Amino acid sequence: MTARQHRLPAGPTPATLTSRGGRPESEPRAAAVPLGSVEVDGRRIELVWLTLTDSVLVDFADIEPKRIGTIVTGPYGPRFIAQPGHLDWLAYEERENRVLRAAVLCRAERTLPGPRLRTY
């Protein structure tokens, strides 16, 4: 059977265009949303939420290498995936768990306005 027998267009249907000539746009969503900063044992840590993958990047504000790790959400809850260069720092006094808790709280409170600095 062909499209013409069913009175359907023979080719692709043209998209509705906007006044600018492009396709209609949905609400743009930022790919990376800063969640704020937290302080863990005197070190400032910046948190950035990646909306497309629903993960949180955890970075030192003033130490190289910056990336401490990434927090990903799976079927069993959030997990911290650490970078090898900071494993010794994270293992001391349960810093990994404190950073994970802080990031989860910041992610949950992301709708509150203004920069935040918390101590954990």
Q: What would the pLDDT profile of 20-74 be if each residue is shown by its tens digit?
A: 656 556 666 678 889 989 999 999 999 999 988 889 999 999 988 999 999 998 8
C-alpha R_g of the chain: 22
> Omega of the bond prior to 65 within 30 degrees of 0, cis?
yes
Domain range annotation of the chain: 32-119
Q: Please tell me whether the overall predicted TM-score, pTM, comes out greater than 0.75 for this model.
A: no
How many CA within 13 A on the CB side of residue 104?
12
